[in-house]
Amino acid sequence: MDKQPKTIYHREARLQAQCVLWYRNEWYSHPRSLWATFNEGQNVNAKNSSGLMPGVSDLLYYESWDRGLIAIEMKYPGERHEVSRLISQASWIIDVCKCGGFVDDLGMFKNIIKGDNCWIDPVKVLHYCQNIKTKTIEWNRDLFV
């Protein structure tokens, strides 16, 4: 019997894996256009010396015909996140990528790959996080409408 993951990282990793598997097995029009950045986990100090950049999105998708580099930051609904980390992630998307945002389900990811700009807006996430007084929030896309 499969045990339910207990940490945010595992739940988000499972969602990310679903998205990547769909892309590779169902979409696959440009296999080198989607890649992961492994900014979390073990050996953070070694990763820092090798170029780790705080806030970089979980997945990057390059669409050569229109939108350019798209940042995809995975979030699992209902999980708690540090506000400072969300600010770092939203700021990176805004500052570096032509477009992109936060994604919290497979359907949203599929629509992004198919050409829709249906991510959760990083500007709204940034504004919300800069105006609250708590150190953590529970991820709920309705907060950023």
pLDDT digits (tens, 9 = 90+) for 110-130: 999 999 999 999 999 999 999
Sign (positive or negative) of CA dihedral 12, 15, 20, 23: negative
Tell which wins on pLDDT, 28 or 64. Answer: 64
Q: Measured between alpha carbons, how far is 5 from 7 in angstroms, rounded to an integer?
A: 6
Give how far Cα 92 sits from Cα of 25, 31, 51, Å: 29, 24, 15
Indicate if the pLDDT at residue 46 is higher than 70. no
Kindly state the tokens that stand for 104: 């919290």
Give residue 38's pLDDT. Answer: 77
**Residue owning tokens 């992004």:** 112
Contact present, 91 and 56 (Cβ < 8 Å): no
If DSSP codes are grouped into helix, strand and coil, which group holds residue 16? helix
Query: pLDDT by residue (tens digit) across 47-102?
Result: 555 667 889 999 999 988 889 999 999 999 999 999 999 999 999 999 999 899 99
Give residue 8's pLDDT. Answer: 56
Q: In degrees rounded to 5, what are phi and psi of residue 2?
A: -75, 125
Q: pLDDT-derived band of residue 4, with 50, 70 and 90 as boundaries?
A: very low
Q: Measured between alpha carbons, how far is 67 from 29 in angstroms, rounded to an integer?
A: 16
Give residue 116's pLDDT. Answer: 94
Q: Measured between alpha carbons, how far is 44 from 42 in angstroms, rounded to an integer?
A: 6
Give residue 40's pLDDT. Answer: 62
Sign (positive or negative) of CA dihedral 95, 101, 102, 103: negative
Average pLDDT for 11-23: 94
Q: Which amino acid is it at 137? A: I
pTM: 0.86
